[in-house]
Structure 1
C-alpha cells in the first residue's frame, strides 16, 4: 500500500467538496444567465442575449471542468470572486455618455468573452488553479483573453455611463485582475514556456 496516498475517506470528501463547489458555481452562473434571458425577453438588446449565452456556457463548463492539480490560498479565492462582483455591485448608470462608442467596446468585449470561454472549456475556473494549460483560440494571441475582454466590456460601460464612481470601480477591477493574473501565472504547469511563445498578457503592444 502506498503510504503517501490519501485515505479513501479523505479522497471521497475532497471529491464531494469539489462537486459541491462546482454545482454552486454553476447555479450562480445559471442565475445570472436567467436574469439576462429575462431582460432579453422583456425587450432588452443583443448584449443581454450575449451575456445570457456567456453565463450559460460558464454554468455548463463549471460542472464538466477538470479537477485542479494545484490550488491557491483562501484569500486568493476571495480576490478572484471580488473580480466577479466588483463590476456587478459597483457600476451604476450615469448620464452624459457616448452610447455608440460604449456599445462598440461592449460588443467587442462580449465577443471576446464568449470566444475565450469557448476555448477554455474544461479548464474554466474563477480562482487561480492548475486545470491544464490552454493555448488554442484567443489564447494563441494573448495569455488572458477573458480578463482582457472583461476590461474592454466594462470600459465600454464607463464610456456609456461616465462617472467618478464608475471610473473608480473600473480602476479597482484592473488592480484586482492584475493581482489575479500574476498569481495564476505562477501555479499553472508549463506556463513559463507558454509565456515565451505568447508575449502579451492582455493588450498586445502594451502588457
Structure 2
C-alpha cells in the first residue's frame, strides 16, 4: 500500500513540476524580450546621434542574435536549474545592461573594432546554424553536435562572443566597460563549466570531448 501511495505522490508531483517550469519559461522569455527591447531602443538612439559609431549598432545586432533568438528556441528536456547556474546564465546574458553606451576611449580605430565584431557575429551565426535552434540561456542537453563549428572547439558560440566583445571594447574602452566585460567572462567560464558537467552525463558527449580538446578558445581554453 505504501508503495502505491508513493507512486501516486510522484505522479501528482510531476504535473506540478512541469507547470512550474512552464511558468518559469514564460517569465524568463517575457522579461528577456522586455529587457532587450529597452536596451535596443536606448542604444539605437545613441547611434542615431552619431551614426559613425558602427560598433554601437553592431552591439545591438549581436545581442539581438544572442538574446533575441533565445526567445524562439525549443524547450529542452533537461536543463540545469541550479540557482548558481541560473544567476550566472542570466548575468552573462543581460550583461549589456551595464555597458556604457556613451563614447569611450578608442584603443583602435572604429573600423577595426567593427571588423572584429563582424567576424565574431559571423562565427556565432555559423555555430548557431550548426545547432539549428538548439541553444538557449540556461545550460542544457539539447543533443550532441560534433560537426560544423563544433569540430574546432566544444563551445564555439562563446568564441564568437569573445571576438565581437573584444572589437567593441577596443573602440569603446572605459573602466566601466572593462569591469563589465571582465565580470562577463568570469560568468561565462562558470556557465561553460556547468554546461560541461551536465553534458558529461552523456556517453556521446564524453566521446566527443576526447576528440575536441578545447572548450572555447583553440590552444588556450
Coarse TM-score class (shorter-chain normalised): 0.7 to 0.9
Q: Which moved more, 1:141-150 or 1:3-12?
A: 3-12
- TM-score w.r.t. the length of structure 1 is 0.78
Question: 1:163 & 1:38 partners in 2: Cα distance?
Answer: 20
| Structure 2 spans left out of the alignment, 5+ residues | none
Q: Which residue does the alignment assign to 1:194?
A: 208
CA separation in 1, counterparts of 2:21 and 2:156?
Answer: 30
Match of 2:16 among 10, 14, 19: 10
Structure number with larger C-alpha Rg: 2
Q: Does 1:74 align with 2:83?
A: yes
Deviation at 1:179, TM superposition (A): 1.1
CA distance in 2, matches of 1:89, 1:196: 37
* Alpha-carbon distance in structure 2 between the residues aligned to 1:126 and 1:187: 14
Q: How many residues end up aligned between the 2 structures? A: 207
SS at structure 2 position matched to 1:123: coil
Residue 143 of structure 2 corresponds to residue 128 of structure 1: no
Q: State how far apart, in whole Å, the 1-side matches of 2:214 and 2:169 are.
A: 24
CA 1:98/1:50 → structure 2, altered by over 3 Å: closer, same or farther?
closer
1:51–1:36 CA distance, 2 compared to 1 (3 A): farther
Residues 132-156 of structure 1, C-alpha deviations (whole Å, 9 max, x = no match): 2222321221111111111111111
**Within 2, Cα distance between the matches of 1:116 and 1:57?**
12
Identify the residue that residue 115 of structure 1 maps to in structure 2: 126
- Decide whether the 8 Å contact of 1:37 with 1:52 is kept in 2: no
The aligned residue for residue 101 of structure 1 is 112
Mapped partners of 1:79, 1:181: distance in 2? 10
Q: Give the CA deviation at 1:10.
A: 2.4
Distance 1:148 1:178 in 2: 12
193-202 or 23-32, larger mean C-alpha shift? 23-32
Quote the offset at 1:24 in angstroms.
Answer: 2.1
For 1:87 and 1:30, how far apart are their aligned partners in 2? 9
TM-score w.r.t. structure 2 length?
0.74
In 1, Cα distance between equivalents of 2:188 and 2:77 = 20
- Does the aligned pair in 2 maintain the 1:119–1:138 contact within 8 Å? yes
Segment drifting more, 178-187 vs 100-109: 100-109
- CA shift in 2, pair 1:96/1:70, >3 Å: closer
Give the C-alpha shift of residue 130 in structure 1. 2.1
